[in-house]
A and B are shown apart, each in its own frame.
Chain A
Amino acid sequence: MAAATAGGLRQPSVLPGFGLTLGITLTYLSLIVLVPLAALVASAAGLGWDGFWKSVLQPRVLAAFQISLATALVAALVNAVFGLVVAWVLVRYDFPGKKLVDAIVDLPFALPTAVAGIALTGLYAPNGWVGGMLASLGIKVAFTPIGITIALIFIGLPFVVRMVEPVLQDFEAEQEEAAGMLGAGRLATFVRVILPAILPALLTGFAMAFARALGEYGSVIFIAGNLPMVSEIVPLLIVIRLEQYDYGGAAAVATMMLGVSFALLLVINLLQQWVRSRHGS
C-alpha cells in the first residue's frame, strides 16, 4: 500500500477531488505562508553578506539572543520537571476535582497572551499579591529576566503535560511489576524503568515549550521592563527596528531567529519519530 506506483505522482483512487483540494491547499499555503516568508529572507539578503552580519552581530542583538535563549531554556526546564509531576498525578492518582484540573492545564493555549502578560505583571509587580511578598524577601521579579522566565513558564506549561500524559497512560504495567517483584524500590523503578520509556515524549514536550518560549512576545513585554542589554527579548528587538523603519535590520534579526526555529522544528520532528518508534502508534 505504502509504495507509490512506479512513475506515478500519486496512487490511483476512486475518490474525486484530489486536484481541486490539492490546488486549494497549495495556493493558500503559498500565498499566506511561503511567499511572505520568502520575502522576509529576500529582504534580509538585500543587505548583502557583510551587511547582514553587521546587523545581526551588534552587541544589543547578541544580548537579546542571550536573554531569549537563557530565559526560554530555564522556563522549559521548569516545565519539564513540574509538567512531569502534573502528568504523573493526572494519570496515576485519583483526587477530587481531577477533571477540572486536567481541563485547566490548557488555559495558556486559550488565554490571549496580552491578558496573561498584564495579569502576571499585576501579580509580580512590587505592589502585587506575590510581588509584594517576594519584595519583602528582597527578590525582584517584575522588570527582570526572572519575570520573563515566569511569563515563559506560563505559556509553555501545557506542552510537557500533554506530551507525557498519553505515553504514561499506555505504559505497560508488567515491566513495572517485574521491577517491583525483583526487589527494586519505587524510586529505582521510576528512574530505571519508567523514565527511559517516557524520555522521548518528555524531551519532545521540552523542545516544544522551548521553541514556543523563544518566539513569545505578548505575555513577555509587559513583565520584562524591556531594558536594552538586560531584559530585552529578540521579538521585541524586531519590533523596535521596524518602528525605526529599519526594515532590513528587522528582517536580518527575524531571519536569524527563523533559522533557530527551523532547527528546533527539525529536532522536534526527529524526537517525535523516536516517540512513535517506541510506542508504535
Chain B
Amino acid sequence: MALDAFFGPAAAPARPVRSEPRLVRGVLIGTALAFLAIFLVLPLAVVFAQAFAGGVQAWLDSLVEPDALAAIRLTLMAAAIAVPLNLVFGVAAAWCIARFEFRGKSLLTTLIDLPFSVSPVIAGLIYVLLFGLNGWLGPWLRDHDIQIVFALPGIVLATIFVTFPFVARELIPLMQEQGAEEEEAAIMLGASGWQTFRRVTLPKIRWGLLYGVLLCNARAMGEFGAVSVVSGHIRGETNTMPLHVEILYNEYNMVAAFAVASLLALLALVTLVVKSLLEWRYAGELAASRRH
C-alpha cells in the first residue's frame, strides 16, 4: 500500500511541537485500526459470511420459516410496547429533573441509571422471583389465571428494565443545557402546560428524543440475557429473535442461526448509520456529550 496516500498531507502537523514523528504516527494508527479490525470488523464479517454460506435461497428460507417468523413478530411486538412506555417515562423524568430544583434530585438521577449497572440475568431473575410460580405473587397470579413469566408480559417487563434509562439519560442533559427560559415565557404569555410542551419543548428536543429512541429500540430488539431468563424458550411462542438464534446455534443449524443473526446485525448497522447521521447533522440539538 502506498504509505504516502495513507498518511499524506492531511496528517501534516499544525504545530511541530505537538505532533509525533511520522513513524510513531503510522504505528499508532496501524495499531488502532488493527485492533478495531480484529475485534469489530472481523466478527461482523463472519456473521454475513456464514449467513450466506448456503446461498441466498438458504438464507431466505431460514427467515421465512414459521418459527423464525414467530420470533421476528414477538421481537417487534415486545419492542413496540417497551419503547413507547420508556419514551413517555423518559420525557416525564426529563421534565421534572431538568426543569425543577427539588430535594433528592441527584438520588433520583442515579436511580434512573441503575438498570445499566445490573446484569441482564439479574434483570430477568427479579421478575421470576416476583411473578414466577414459586415467586412472591405466583400463587395469586395462578388463582386468577394470569401468566406473566414465560409469556409476553414477562418478556416486555425484562425488555423495559434493560432499556429503562436510554431516553431519560439522553433528554436530561439536553434539556438542562437548553434552559427553561423559553418555556417560562410561553407560560407567562398564557399558553397551557401541554401547549408549551408541544409547541416549545418538543421542537427543541426532537432530535435528542429520536436519538434516545433509536438506542432504546436497538437494545430492546437485541436483548438476550434478561429475556432468556423470563421467556421459557417455547419455540414459535416465547422465542424472540436473539433466543431463536441461540436455539438454532445449539442445534448446529449454523446457516439458519447466522441468517437470523444477520438480520439483527443489519438492524445494528442501520442504527449506527442513523445515529452517526444525527451526530453529524444535528449535533447542536443533541446533548453535548454526543457532539463529535
Task: Report A's interface with B, CB cutoff 8 A.
Answer: 1-2, 4, 9-11, 13-18, 20-22, 24-26, 28-29, 32-37, 39-40, 42-43, 82, 85-86, 88-90, 92-96, 99, 101-120, 122-123, 128-130, 150, 153-154, 157, 166, 173, 176-177, 180-181, 186, 211, 214-218, 222, 234-236, 238-239, 242, 245, 247, 250-251, 254, 257-258, 261-262, 264-265, 269, 281
Contacts and interface: CB of A to CB of B under 8 A. Distances in A.
A25 B245 contact: no
A130 B269 CA distance: 23
Interface string B224-246: 11001100000000000111011
B225 A217 contact: yes
Q: Which of B32, B33, B95 has the most chain A CB atoms inside 10 A of its CB?
A: B32
Contacts of B32: 82, 85-86, 88-90, 101
A10 B100 contact: yes
A115 B47 contact: yes
Given A10-B101, A115-B265, A214 B119 contact: yes
B111 interface: yes
Contacts of B246: 114, 222
> Which of B119, B132, B271 counts the most A-chain CB atoms under 10 A from its CB?
B119
B152 interface: no
B77 to A, nearest CB: 17
A119 B162 CA distance: 23
B184 interface: yes
Main secondary structure of the interface of A (DSSP, over half): helix
Given A33-B115, A180-B18, A112 B222 contact: yes
B56 interface: no
Interface residues of B, number: 109
Closest 8 pairs (CB-CB, A-B): A112-B222, A215-B119, A10-B102, A180-B17, A218-B224, A217-B225, A36-B126, A16-B193
Interface string B98-125: 0111110000101110110111111001
Residue of A215, A250, A265 with most partner-chain B CB within 10 A: A215
B187 A118 contact: no
Given A104-B40, A110-B218, A115-B245, A247 B135 contact: yes
B193 A9 contact: no
Given A114-B264, A217-B225, 20 more contacts: A1-B101, A15-B183, A15-B184, A17-B96, A21-B96, A36-B129, A85-B28, A86-B36, A89-B29, A95-B6, A101-B36, A102-B292, A113-B224, A118-B258, A119-B261, A157-B40, A218-B225, A235-B119, A242-B229, A265-B117
Interface of B: 6-7, 10-11, 15, 17-21, 24-25, 28-29, 31-33, 35-36, 38-44, 46-47, 50, 85, 88-89, 92-93, 95-97, 99-103, 108, 110-112, 114-115, 117-122, 125-130, 132, 134-136, 157, 160-161, 164, 180, 183-184, 187-188, 192-193, 196-197, 215, 218, 221-225, 228-229, 241-243, 245-246, 249, 254, 257-258, 261, 264-265, 268-269, 271-273, 275-276, 280, 288-289, 292
Contacts of A108: 40
Contacts of A1: 101
Contact of A258 (B28, B93, B118, B136): B118
Given A32-B164, A86-B36, A110 B10 contact: no
Contacts of A35: 130
Contacts of B135: 39, 247
Contacts of B264: 111-112, 114-115
B193 to A, nearest CB: 4
Contacts of B7: 95
B43 A123 contact: yes
A186 B221 CA distance: 46
Give chain B's interface secondary structure class: helix
B117 A28 contact: no
Contacts of B119: 214-217, 234-235, 238, 254, 257, 261
A84 to B, nearest CB: 10
A14 B245 contact: no
Contact of A118 (B10, B97, B249): B249
Contacts of B221: 112
Nearest to A20: B92
A94 B13 CA distance: 10
A173 B268 contact: no
B28 A110 contact: no
Given A13-B100, A36-B126, A247-B135, A111 B42 contact: no
B120 A25 contact: no
A17 B44 CA distance: 46
Contact of A153 (B15, B20, B39, B120): B39
Nearest to A100: B276
B161 A33 contact: yes
A11 B180 CA distance: 14
Nearest to B291: A166
